[in-house]
Amino acid sequence: MAAPGNEFFIQKKLSTPAAHHTSFAQLWATKWRKPAEMGVYPFMFGTAADFLPIVASLTQRDVKEPYDWDEYARTFFPTAEKLKKVAEQAEKEGDVEKAKGEGDVVPVYHLVPESAKPVPALIILTGLDGYRTELAVWMEGWRQVGIATIVLEIPGTGDCPANASDPTSPDRLWSSVLDWIDAQEGLDSKKTAMWAFSTGGYYAMRVAHTHHERLAGVVALGGGCHHMFDRRWLDEVNHLEYPFDLADTLAWKWGYGDDVEAFKREGMEKFSLLKDGTLDRPECARLLLVNGTEDEIFPIDDYYLALMHGAPKEARFVEGVKHMGEPASFFIILKWLYKLFDIQADPVKQMQTLPFKPKY
């Protein structure tokens, strides 16, 4: 643990429920309204106006934990159907730009600058609930500075083919992905790096060790490696920073389905990067660990632990900020990657490509 007495860094806050766990109305008011208005995570490619009918319905019904996920999802259907009809009508009228609703961002999985000859490649690895269609929001900014991007999902989420319950499945996944990169004429495989978000940081820390010779650098933003599986931590996280029941969601992600108790009982022994020896391997790619010190999703203690094992690593913690240390962490990482790729770029200008600004 990072704190004395075998305690978590945020031990005093572990038992204090966050306001957004009291009701959906509070979730919207205290955590989601502002990001929706800004067009940033988790509201990429959407507008606050689209969500207002949904918010009104959930608020009127006083929806709160424990959520009925089928009922919760059904609330979104009318708005989704309406938006689908708008897109279909625009497509029918030949207004393809309005139909796709993309603006300057191309939400695809692989984007290569026109100047590829070849160019460095950045693998963007998603987290627990931000899939490749959402993290595509980063691709245009990297294209503008001459970097190709490849966005992938982690095991147990989205369309990732790797077996979520097999600790070694990501190793095979990365071998295949890196082999494919090697075969692309437009990509410089010697300048391949990875930026992983949140839960993806776990996989970034693993691949930095298992495929160290094939990666120029790896960034693990807001990830974990060992204490994230501690029962004492998992027993508390459902009422902390994450908007919903995090332990239950993680159980599904790691292949346990709704057997949360089995996940709490077995998860550390099965997936810990300390217990399986990964952190103590003698070789590691250049690895940057970034997070907020007050993270209530994955304990900052995991990054302290990683620094005390195996090959030397780099770290930057954002003091007093919660999960992932946003937005300061983004500027830290962008500058680090610019140096890694040996390019001149402005992080402020690149960050300005992120917020979604609807045209219609």
Element (H, E) at 252: helix 246-253
Average pLDDT per 10 consecutive residues for the chain, totaling 360 residues: 77 85 88 79 76 88 88 89 83 62 40 91 94 91 97 90 92 90 94 98 98 98 98 95 92 96 98 98 98 96 98 97 95 98 97 78
Q: Note the pLDDT of residue 165.
A: 94
Nearest alpha carbon to residue 112 among 65, 168, 181:
181
Backbone angles phi, psi at 226, to 5 degrees: -150, -65
pLDDT digits 0-9 by tens, 12-60: 888 888 888 888 899 888 877 887 887 777 777 777 888 888 888 989 9
Q: Residues 189, 115: contact at Cβ < 8 Å?
A: no
What spatial distance separates the first Cα and last Cα of the chain, rounded to whole Å?
Answer: 50
pLDDT digits 0-9 by tens, 84-121: 888 788 777 876 545 444 333 222 369 999 987 899 99
Catalytic-residue membership of 301: no
Q: Note the pLDDT of residue 104.
A: 31
Tokens for 235? Answer: 């027993």
Dihedral sign for Cα 271, 276, 280, 284, please: negative
Which residue among 226, 239, 323, 329 is the active-site one?
A: 323
Query: What percentage of the chain reaches a pLDDT higher than 70?
Result: 94
Nearest alpha carbon to residue 20 among 167, 234, 209, 238:
238
- Whole-number average pLDDT of the chain: 90
Q: What is the DSSP secondary structure assignment for residue 32, as one 8-state letter?
A: I
Give the strand pairing for 148-152 and 110-111.
antiparallel
Tokens for 4? Answer: 């004395």
Q: What is the DSSP secondary structure assignment for residue 167, as one 8-state letter?
A: T
Which residue among 189, 198, 272, 329 is the active-site one?
A: 198
Homologous superfamily, domain 110-351 = Alpha/Beta hydrolase fold, catalytic domain (3.40.50.1820)
Which residue among 245, 295, 301, 302 is the active-site one?
A: 295
Q: Note the pLDDT of residue 105.
A: 27
CA distance 66 to 37: 27
Q: Note the pLDDT of residue 360.
A: 63
Strands of the sheet with 217-221, listed across from one edge: 110-111, 148-152, 119-125, 187-197, 217-221, 287-292, 314-318
Nearest alpha carbon to residue 72 among 300, 278, 212, 243:
243
Query: Rounded to 10 degrees, what is the CA torsion of 205, 211, 215, 220?
Result: -10
**Full-model pTM:** 0.81
Domain ranges of the chain: 19-100, 110-351
Catalytic-residue membership of 295: yes
Element (H, E) at 318: strand 314-318
Q: 3-class DSSP state for residue 217?
A: strand
Q: Note the pLDDT of residue 359.
A: 65
Q: Residues 221, 3: contact at Cβ < 8 Å?
A: no
Catalytic-residue membership of 323: yes
Q: What CA–CA distances, in Å, run from 276 to 59, 167, 168?
A: 46, 9, 10
